[in-house]
């Protein structure tokens, strides 16, 4: 008896065919996904998948994305799973729909299925067009059946779109303007602004609502607990009205202590909830064993989205509609239902693209703001846009982390032992994971507090992500010190704990290689048996012209970093060349990527290039500063990011494997690039910087410190 087909989890959770594909619009196949466009090009890639499996021109595919009225519930767009899981689910569904159409045509034509094929949605009999097509046959197809997953998939060698670079559907509107949630307009739409405390620990003691009510254009002024807001006919009126409210407000004193910038010391002395993973067995080792230990850190990092968070909502006849750039329309709907005491069946959440974020920024919070205010002015659409200082002060940030590693290398250069300890706050606090988790809900007169969240050693989630080295190790032990009570709000920032863990792991690998007197590329290959990992590292070394004999301490050098994201997604090896004579400048990054079948190679390269740029910005520049009132960096002057003139030359080589499943790439480059930059700086200066960001001030301080 054959084994049952193992379906991707998106398809297991949403098994009905009509949840994925529909032929009710003549001449068009609509395909449905809860995965949303964040700038990663997935809607184009999903259309490519559907077009090839349905044998349709891509222009006849309409992708319906992130809409609770139509989409399957695939939870969040996160973890580089949109193509790997969502795309593979859609591919199976579309292939099955095609085969069902052929079976229906065979019955109608009284012909053997082997004589039938499909081109452009039309049924061909012995290669000649019949009078049947998908839309005529659709009424005969049982779209309420479960997808079996047994349909024959299109061989990429025979595909029209799979594995071919295709122009992205979303770019023309973005270039022309009007593509984002910020650009939505509805008749009679109101504009709103929200007043929030100067810091999270302050509470509203008094406010003069009339200070805003008497201003022109004001339609509604509303307060509940620490939440106050205005709705106006025009946006500028809302900005001025909220300024008037702010001037009239009084707050409690915030006596929170100043948070130090030494994150290693600060994190490692806090009360933690521990979990651990241990595999293999220590064994006696003869000969000269090299042992090393080190501790690395990263600071808290802001999402720093180029466009502040924005949402539109309308409440009419007991039903709520919300337009948002949330990455999880279904979880957000559930959280809104709980926070507002509205039946989730009476709430529809529709994704509209935002101006850039991978992770949990303010998108869900501003959706809650808009929903709350829409309920105060029924039938009117209410648009809420955060100000820049709101985005920096109130959007969740990526947790600071510290990673301590001890390891041993034998006389033959083989890794023998590995122990890691990780200190981190939570990374996954999106709405409806552990509770409502919406900012306004925690500030209302009857607040719904943020739950206490600690993470465990689930290697795909949170702080433990990519904590396991990819190398062959007879013994490894990893301990996670989860810190659930940080005095600031942390949640998902792109890669979660993967960025810090790969930076630490790959930096330590270089330190062990140096101690053993072995070239870093050679050392990695010596300790890797995974052939795809080896090929990726070898490719990066080849395209970068890696020089095993390059001298140290000259001020300029190259470094390498490698990881397989989440240990299950794409393989990425990066070589960074830096000039560290004055301050660190990354001159060039060469990157090799194995993502299995790259549905849209240009899209994969775009994602890797974007990840490289973001990683360099995090590694050299970014950190959220704190003061007595909480987050102090609230504008671009106080929170700089990498500028255009600081971007390096980039070369990305894809290792195409069309016969293998697609692997997620969206978050795969950040960790390897951070490690490559740090390793290059260490070789350039002959001095290891273990704390991020690698600023000029930190380098000077490290060089001046006695050994």
Distance between CA atoms of residues 278 and 477, nearest Å: 4
Least confident of 77-91, 545-559, 601-615: 77-91
The verdict on 553 and 618 lying in the same domain is yes
CB-CB contact of 374 with 447 (8 Å):
no
Domain endpoint, select from 158, 189, 222:
158
- Residue 707: which pLDDT band, with cuts at 50, 70 and 90? low
Confidence category of residue 167, pLDDT binned at 50, 70, 90: very high
CB-CB contact of 674 with 501 (8 Å): no
Q: How confident is the model at residue 4, as a pLDDT?
A: 65
Supply the pLDDT for residue 506: 98
Three-state DSSP class for residue 241: helix
Q: Is the pLDDT of residue 256 over 80?
A: no
Evaluate whether residue 60 is within a structural domain: yes
Best CA proximity match to 665, nearest among 574, 577, 587 = 574
- The band of 642, judged by pLDDT with boundaries at 50, 70 and 90, is very high
Q: Is residue 44 part of a domain?
A: yes
Same domain, 576 and 605: yes
pLDDT of res. 5: 73
319 and 359 together in one domain = yes
Please indicate, yes or no, whether residues 89 and 202 belong to a single structural domain of this protein. no
**Within a domain: residue 166?**
no
Residue at a domain's end among 368, 394, 420: 394
Mean pLDDT (whole number) for 169-186? 91
298 lies in some domain = no
140 and 196 share one domain? no
Q: Report the 3 state secondary structure along 640-696.
A: CCCCHHHCCEEEEEECCCCCCCCCCCCCCCHHHHHHHHHHHHHHHHCCCCCECCCCH
Q: What is the pLDDT of residue 461?
A: 79
Query: What is the pLDDT confidence band of residue 145, given thresholds at 50, 70 and 90?
Result: very high
DSSP-assigned letter for residue 157: G
Q: For the chain, what percent of residues have pLDDT higher than 70?
A: 97
Tokens 């059946």 belong to residue:
145
Give the pLDDT of residue 153.
94
Looking at residue 1, its pLDDT comes to: 43
In a domain, 658, yes or no: yes
* pLDDT at residue number 516: 96
Predicted pLDDT of residue 658: 93
CB contact at 8 A, 559 and 576: yes
Query: 284-294 as b/e, with b when 16 or more CB fall inside 10 Å?
Result: eeeeeeeeeeb
Rounded Cα gap, residues 543 and 235, in angstroms: 52
Q: What is the mean pLDDT of residues 91-97?
A: 97
* Per-residue pLDDT tens over the stretch 433-487: 999 999 999 999 999 999 998 898 886 779 999 999 999 999 999 999 999 989 8
Assess whether pLDDT exceeds 80 at residue 701. Answer: yes
Q: Indicate the pairing of strand 190-195 with strand 319-324.
A: unpaired
Strands laid side by side in the 475-482 sheet: 273-280, 475-482, 415-424, 401-409, 290-298
- The count of domains in the chain is 3
Q: What is the pLDDT of residues 33-48, one digit of tens each?
A: 999 999 889 999 999 9
Query: What is the number of alpha carbons within 13 Å of residue 359 lying toward its C-beta?
Result: 24
Per-residue pLDDT at 67 exceeds 60 = yes
Q: Does any domain span residue 614?
A: yes
Count Cβ neighbours within 10 Å for each residue of 548-575 and write b for 16 or more, e otherwise.
eeeeeeeebbbbbbbbbbbeebbbbbbb
Expressed as residue numbers, the domain containing 319 is 181-252+304-394
Asked if the model's pLDDT at residue 11 lies above 80, the reply is yes
Residue 3 has pLDDT above 70, yes or no: no
Judge if 444 and 374 occupy the same domain. no
Residue 195 to residue 373: CA distance in whole angstroms = 13
Which residue's entry shows tokens 């690698």? 694
pLDDT tier at 556, thresholds 50, 70, 90: very high
**pLDDT class for 358, splitting at 50, 70, 90?**
confident
Q: What is the CATH number of the domain that holds 54?
A: 3.30.365.10
Per-residue pLDDT tens over the stretch 359-398: 999 999 999 999 999 999 999 999 999 999 999 999 999 9
Average pLDDT over residues 304-312: 93
CB 110 within 8 A of CB 33: no
Whether residue 479 lies inside any domain: the answer is yes
Q: How far apart are CA 227 and CA 216, in angstroms?
A: 22
Same domain for 377 and 411: no
Question: Which of residues 354, 372, 394 is at a domain's end?
Answer: 394
Residues 651 and 609 in one domain: yes
Q: Are residues 95 and 147 in the same domain?
A: yes
Question: What is the value of pTM for the model shown?
Answer: 0.95
pLDDT exceeds 60 at position 322: yes
Same domain, 508 and 635: yes
Looking at the fold, whether 34 and 65 belong to one and the same domain comes out as yes
Are 95 and 19 contained in the same domain? Answer: yes
What are the pLDDT digits (tens) for 481-524?
999 989 899 999 999 999 999 999 999 999 999 999 999 999 99
pLDDT at 174: 87
For the segment 225-248, the average pLDDT, to the nearest whole number, is 97
Q: List, for residues 657-668, the tens digit of each pLDDT value.
A: 999 999 999 999
Q: Is the peptide bond before 368 cis (omega within 30 degrees of 0)?
A: no
Q: What is the mean pLDDT of the chain?
A: 94
Residue 586 lies in a domain: yes
The alpha carbon torsion through 230, 231, 236, 241 (nearest 10 deg) reads: -30
Between 22-31, 277-286, 372-381, 416-425, the lowest mean confidence (pLDDT) is in 277-286
């Amino acid at each position: 008896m054959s084994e049952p087909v193992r379906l991707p989890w998106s398809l297991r959770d949403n098994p009905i065919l009509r949840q994925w594909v529909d032929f009710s619009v003549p001449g068009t196949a609509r395909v449905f996904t809860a995965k949303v466009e964040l700038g990663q090009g997935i809607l184009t890639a999903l259309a490519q998948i559907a077009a090839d499996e349905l044998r349709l021109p891509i222009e006849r595919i309409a992708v319906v994305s992130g809409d609770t009225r139509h989409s399957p519930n695939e939870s969040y767009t996160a973890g580089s799973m949109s193509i790997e899981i969502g795309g593979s689910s859609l591919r199976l569904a579309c292939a099955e729909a095609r085969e069902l159409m052929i079976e229906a045509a065979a019955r109608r034509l009284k012909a053997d299925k082997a004589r039938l094929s499909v081109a452009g949605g039309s049924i061909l009999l012995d290669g000649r067009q019949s009078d049947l097509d998908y839309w005529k046959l659709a009424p005969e197809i049982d779209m309420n059946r479960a997808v079996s997953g047994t349909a024959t998939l299109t061989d990429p060698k025979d595909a029209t779109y799979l594995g071919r670079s295709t122009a992205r559907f979303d770019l023309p509107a973005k270039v022309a303007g009007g593509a984002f949630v910020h650009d939505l307009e509805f008749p009679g739409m109101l504009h709103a602004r929200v007043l929030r405390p100067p810091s999270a620990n302050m509470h509203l003691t008094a406010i003069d609502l009339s200070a805003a009510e008497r201003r022109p254009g004001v339609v509604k002024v509303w307060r509940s607990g620490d939440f106050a807001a205005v709705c106006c006919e025009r946006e500028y009126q809302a900005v001025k009205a909220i300024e008037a409210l702010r001037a009239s407000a009084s707050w409690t004193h915030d006596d929170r202590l100043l948070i130090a910038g030494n994150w290693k010391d600060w994190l490692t002395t806090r009360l933690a909830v521990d979990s651990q993973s241990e595999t293999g067995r220590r064994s006696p080792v003869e000969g000269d064993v090299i042992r090393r230990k080190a501790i690395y850190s990263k600071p808290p990092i802001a999402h720093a989205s180029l466009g502040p968070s924005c949402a539109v909502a309308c409440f009419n006849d007991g039903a709520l509609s919300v337009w948002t750039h949330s990455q999880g329309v279904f979880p957000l709907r559930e959280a809104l239902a709980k926070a507002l005491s509205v039946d989730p069946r009476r709430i529809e959440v529709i994704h509209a693209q935002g101006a850039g974020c991978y992770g949990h920024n303010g998108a869900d919070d501003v959706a809650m703001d808009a929903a709350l205010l829409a309920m105060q002015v029924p039938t009117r659409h209410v648009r809420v846009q955060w100000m820049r200082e709101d985005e920096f002060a109130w959007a969740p940030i990526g947790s600071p982390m510290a990673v301590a590693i001890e390891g041993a290398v034998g006389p033959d250069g083989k890794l023998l032992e590995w122990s890691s300890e990780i200190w981190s706050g939570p990374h996954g606090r999106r709405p409806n994971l552990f509770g409502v988790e919406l900012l306004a809900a925690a500030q209302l007169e009857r607040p719904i507090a943020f739950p206490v969240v600690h993470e465990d050693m689930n290697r795909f989630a949170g702080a433990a992500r990519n904590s396991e080295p990819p190398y062959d190790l007879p013994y490894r032990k990893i301990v996670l010190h989860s810190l659930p009570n940080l005095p600031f709000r942390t949640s998902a920032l792109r890669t979660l704990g993967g960025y810090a863990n790969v930076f630490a792991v790959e930096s330590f690998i270089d330190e062990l290689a140096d101690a053993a007197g072995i070239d870093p590329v050679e050392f990695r290959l010596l300790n890797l048996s995974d052939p795809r990992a080896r090929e990726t590292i070898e490719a990066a070394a080849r395209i970068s012209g890696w020089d095993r004999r390059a001298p140290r301490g000259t001020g300029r050098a190259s470094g390498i970093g490698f990881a397989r994201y989440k240990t299950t997604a794409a393989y990425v090896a990066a070589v960074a060349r830096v000039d560290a004579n004055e301050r660190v400048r990354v001159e060039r990054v060469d990157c090799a990527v194995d993502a299995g079948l790259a549905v849209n190679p240009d899209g994969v390269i775009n994602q890797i290039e974007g990840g490289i740029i973001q990683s360099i910005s995090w590694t050299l520049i970014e950190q959220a500063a704190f003061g007595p009132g909480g987050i102090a960096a609230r504008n671009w002057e106080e929170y700089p990011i990498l500028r255009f003139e600081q971007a390096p030359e980039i070369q990305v080589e894809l290792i195409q494997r069309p016969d293998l499943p697609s692997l997620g790439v969206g978050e795969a480059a950040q960790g390897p690039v951070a490690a490559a930059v740090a390793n290059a700086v260490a070789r350039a200066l002959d001095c290891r910087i273990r704390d991020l960001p690698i600023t000029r001030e930190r380098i000077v301080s490290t060089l001046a410190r006695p050994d």
